[in-house]
Amino acid sequence: MEKQSTTGEKKKLSIKEFFTLGEVGGYFFRKKDPSRPSNINIKMMHGINKISIAIFLIGVLYLILKRFI
């Protein structure tokens, strides 16, 4: 897999970079931002998103374990 930098050159991704959970990890473990709007609709939306991501990851782990065990 290749990653294109801002200068246009392509760079090979390492295994470590391929499996980083930057976006997902940042979604679950970010600090509260006081400049973001906070109402019940947004809180519920983010809660449901976190639950769906967690269930998806559990399902993927189940399929991997089922395949190799």
**AA identity, residue 41:** N
pLDDT value, residue 18: 58
What element of type H or E holds 10? strand 10-12
Q: What is the pLDDT of residues 26-43, one digit of tens each?
A: 666 677 777 877 889 888
pLDDT at 2 over 60: no
Q: How far is CA 35 from the centre of its chain?
A: 22
State whether the Cα torsion 11-16-19-24 is positive or negative.
Answer: negative
pLDDT at 5 over 60: no
